[in-house]
Structure 1
Amino acid sequence: MHRFRYQGEALFVEETDAAGLAERYGTPLYVYSAGTIVDHYERLLSSLRALNPLICYAVKANSNLALLRLLASRGSGFDLVSGGELYRILRAGGDPARSTFAGVGKTAQEIKEALEAGIYSFVVESREELEVIDRVAARLGKRAPVALRVNPDVGARTHAKVKTGVAESKFGISPEEIEGLYRQLPHFSHVSLRGIQFHIGSQIRDVEPFEEAVRRVIPLVEIARDRFGAEFFDIGGGLGIAYEEALQSGDPGWWESKAQWATPAHYAERLLPLLGPLKLRIIVEPGRLLVGNAGILLTRVLYRKNRPQKKFVIVDAGMNDLVRPALYGSFHQIVPVARRSGEWVEADVVGPVCESGDCFAASRRMAPVESGDLLAIFSTGAYGFSMASQYNSRPRPAEVLVDGANHRLIRLRESYEDLVRGEGIDEGEIAPGLSGRADGASGQAGENESLTRDQAGRKEKP
């Protein structure tokens, strides 16, 4: 459920008029509902409360500092996949001791940074990675906490590009290899096996794949617990959200009609009997589930183009702002911010980027629109801004967080100056001391968890 709905003919975000946000902060504009994020977090926590779970939000879904701060204030831990994400959660007040560090390609520098920060556990994806963690920990005089990521070879009915638990994917270690690593663990003197993890994919709408994966991995978990004193079982994330009827999913009755969906309640109902007897801490890593339906992308209609073969609605957002439709062929519901009467049309909703793939919706039946109208693209809170780019030298959009009738800017709209920040034309123009920095300290202008609602996001008139 979420807190976007029409009041009369106007779309509201919680108690705030969406059109007013576009007027104040400009478009394209990402808008997030704080109440929706908190509600989704609390629902998942409540459904698993019998297990005393640790929820580690998957930062890759949306890494804005204000959203990280919001979740950290509720006690959330974090699922990290880069040194940059570690830097972000530290800036936002997140606790690394309640966070895991996953990913198949951790560098020695990232491992060092996470150990020094006090990470709760690394999620290890290969034997060679385990060797590197052991060496880095030895140099630091530390003992690195690790969890082995099992690839259970469980398919899920989701997009091929987000399946991560099948044998053909790059993720995880096969059960047979895990058994071999168990025999070798005593030789890694600077690591400690803290848990076992799996993650089978994203945007999964049924519970069966999760249940199958848990059943397959439990024997390995029991060995880790009994032989090595492991303390947790991390069952990953992946619960799906509504895309096709995203606006309608704000109604509790809509979910009642989707009894087969893997809601937090159905997920817990099936998994609690399997996980409870283990007497281990259970970790879950939701990303899209918490923030996906909590965000919309506001965009303004620039032009209409009518051809005998096709009608086009051209908007000011592009695939650089929201790449999911171009990358995955994904569906996002698109609705007018102010509803008008009239005959519906069939049209492609496209952006200004010089790619034929810059299309948000193809042959979509939609309410009539005119140049200057505002549209809301739903379900963009996850993998929207976090995957945005400056392709075509287009500045990235602003982001706003709404809490009831209050709203505040949480990322400035980029300027043309931001597009070339860090670049140099002449030799020596870039200071040698800044060359190649990877600590996140430079070139990060624009985002601040404490920006006020009075900072207008460098609004650009259409």
Structure 2
Amino acid sequence: MSAFAYRNGILHAEDLPLDRLIEEVGTPAFVYSRADLQAAYRRFAGALQDAGLDARICYAVKANPHLAVIRSFAELGAGADVVSEGELRRALAAGVPADRIVFAGVGKSDGEMALGLETGILQFNVESREELLRLDAVARGLGKTAPVALRVNPDVDAKTHAKITTGKSENKFGIDIRDIPELLQLAGGLPGLAIKGLAVHIGSQITQLEPFEAAFRRVAELFTEMRSAGHPLEHLDMGGGLGIAYQGESLPSVEDYAAVVRRTVGQLGVPLVFEPGRHLVGEAGLLLARVLFVKQGRSRRFLILDAAMNDLLRPALYDAWHEIQPLREAAPDATRQPFDVVGPVCESGDIFAAGRPLPEMAAGDALAFRSAGAYGATMASTYNSRLPAPEIMVSGSHYSIIRARPSHEQLMAQETLPDWL
């Protein structure tokens, strides 16, 4: 059950009425429920445990990198999946032990490799021959040995949006499954590396189990073959990608997902690493906004908001769908009319929804974009010199501003005019 629900006609986050919150912090603003974050983690971890799997969960920081979000999972024993130096430093600062951190990504710099080695992370997920050779050189230069899992590209269609699929042969991610034997042989002769396992991740917002099953079976077969060939593989990294119900659609449960894992790789008898991101944070956050104007066009009505594509990019980038709810609950028999819900940014692409049926709204009314906890604030920008939305975490009836809205002066203070201007 979601922590975001109507009570006495007002949308609440846990026990906090959101109309009171926006009077104090303004809009636009991101709001996260700590209870929802931790409940999602417990459900995911519990399903894997109940399936009899030896599982380690490393939260995919890219989904929402706020320190308070990472700490909420670290309190429950989570590790972290990071793809940059910044994310690695955030995970460490939030209290994630280095030996629970996986460093993924196709383009790690020498400095990022060195930081991972110096802090003693769990493993590097290596995605190419070139990266393998470079990591070996960096490790030897530091007198260290890099723990490595080779990321397999199994050529499986995740049946998700083209921009977030990562497991097909034409994607930039991973190593072609046919090349893994050769690269394992190469890695075995590189003194700066210690091969620990294989990894796979086929995409994000996957809403069917078949792609997981196909990918996991291919990797399980490869894992078995490579161990039989003498390669000392110790564990398997299963990646993440399990989706959420943005439109209330019926999706596979985490128990169904765990059952797929068990029947495809359970017989290997090795520890497994999982890297969920969106599944843990997506439904635990929302974006609050106010209506600036209700504009009547020739043939369309527009709700023009104080939030924009710089705050929530997913609709403009992916044509993504987010449920939109007024903060004040509409009567069950209230008439709904189609609105184009748009922001004030000077782009025709600054649109959240086209022809969305909504109850009548007026200037000053507030609304919420649901399921904005993943890839919301982390993908935001200051386009049109707009101030970033603050982030707020709610626990019970209390809240904390975990990232304040900066002032224009603070943003401009980061810039310097050259002395010749």
* TM-score (normalizing by structure 1): 0.88
Instruction: Kindly indicate whether the alpha-carbon contact (under 8 Å) linking 2:287 and 2:372 is maintained by their aligned counterparts in 1.
Output: yes
Find the partner of 1:352 among 333, 344, 352: 344
Structure 2 residue identity aligned to 1:194: K
Q: Which residue of 1 aligns with 2:8?
A: 8
Are 1:238 and 2:241 counterparts? Answer: yes
Distance in 2, matches of 1:421 and 1:86, equals 27
Instruction: Kindly indicate whether the alpha-carbon contact (under 8 Å) linking 1:156 and 1:163 is maintained by their aligned counterparts in 2.
Output: yes
Distance in 1, matches of 2:112 and 2:187, equals 22
Q: How does 1:398-417 map to 2 (within 5 A)?
A: 398-417=390-409
Q: Which residue of 1 aligns with 2:103?
A: 101
Instruction: Kindly indicate whether the alpha-carbon contact (under 8 Å) linking 1:65 and 1:91 is maintained by their aligned counterparts in 2.
Output: yes
Distance in 2, matches of 1:343 and 1:198, equals 48
Find the partner of 2:273 among 277, 280, 283: 283
Gaps of 5+ in 2: none
Structure 1 residue identity aligned to 2:25: Y
Structure 2 residue identity aligned to 1:372: G
Structure 2 residue identity aligned to 1:315: L
Are 1:163 and 2:165 counterparts? Answer: yes
Q: Which residue of 1 aligns with 2:120?
A: 118
Are 1:396 and 2:398 counterparts? Answer: no
**How much does 1:220 deviate?**
2.1
Distance in 1, matches of 2:216 and 2:234, equals 16
Instruction: Kindly indicate whether the alpha-carbon contact (under 8 Å) linking 1:163 and 1:202 is maintained by their aligned counterparts in 2.
Output: yes
Q: How does 1:47-446 map to 2 (within 5 A)?
A: 47-49=47-49, 50-226=52-228, 227-245=230-248, 258=250, 261-341=251-331, 342-427=334-419
Instruction: Kindly indicate whether the alpha-carbon contact (under 8 Å) linking 1:196 and 1:224 is maintained by their aligned counterparts in 2.
Output: no
Distance in 2, matches of 1:428 and 1:25, equals 40
**How much does 1:54 deviate?**
0.5
Render the CA deviation track for 1:86-145: whole Å, top value 9, x for unaligned: 111111111121010000000000000111011100000000100110001001100100
Distance in 1, matches of 2:292 and 2:78, equals 41
Distance in 2, matches of 1:411 and 1:314, equals 25
Identical pairs, percent: 47
Structure 1 residue identity aligned to 2:344: P
SS in 1 for 2:322: coil
Distance in 2, matches of 1:222 and 1:281, equals 14
Aligned residue pairs total 416
**How much does 1:223 deviate?**
4.1
**How much does 1:423 deviate?**
1.4
Instruction: Kindly indicate whether the alpha-carbon contact (under 8 Å) linking 1:390 and 1:419 is maintained by their aligned counterparts in 2.
Output: no
* CA RMSD across the alignment: 1.4
Structure 1 residue identity aligned to 2:97: D
SS in 2 for 1:370: coil
Structure 1 residue identity aligned to 2:299: Q
Instruction: Kindly indicate whether the alpha-carbon contact (under 8 Å) linking 2:188 and 2:194 is maintained by their aligned counterparts in 1.
Output: no
**How much does 1:340 deviate?**
3.9
Instruction: Kindly indicate whether the alpha-carbon contact (under 8 Å) linking 2:181 and 2:226 is maintained by their aligned counterparts in 1.
Output: no
Following superposition, which runs of at least 4 residues in structure 1 exceed 6 angstroms of deviation?
A: none
Q: Which residue of 1 aligns with 2:28?
A: 28
Change in Cα spacing, 1:340 to 1:51, as seen in structure 2 (3 Å) is closer
Render the CA deviation track for 1:364-392: whole Å, top value 9, x for unaligned: 10111111110000110000000000100
Distance in 2, matches of 1:332 and 1:347, equals 14
Distance in 2, matches of 1:356 and 1:204, equals 29
Distance in 2, matches of 1:69 and 1:369, equals 38
Distance in 2, matches of 1:318 and 1:129, equals 38
* TM-score (normalizing by structure 2): 0.96
Distance in 2, matches of 1:110 and 1:185, equals 20
Distance in 1, matches of 2:412 and 2:116, equals 31
Distance in 2, matches of 1:38 and 1:74, equals 8
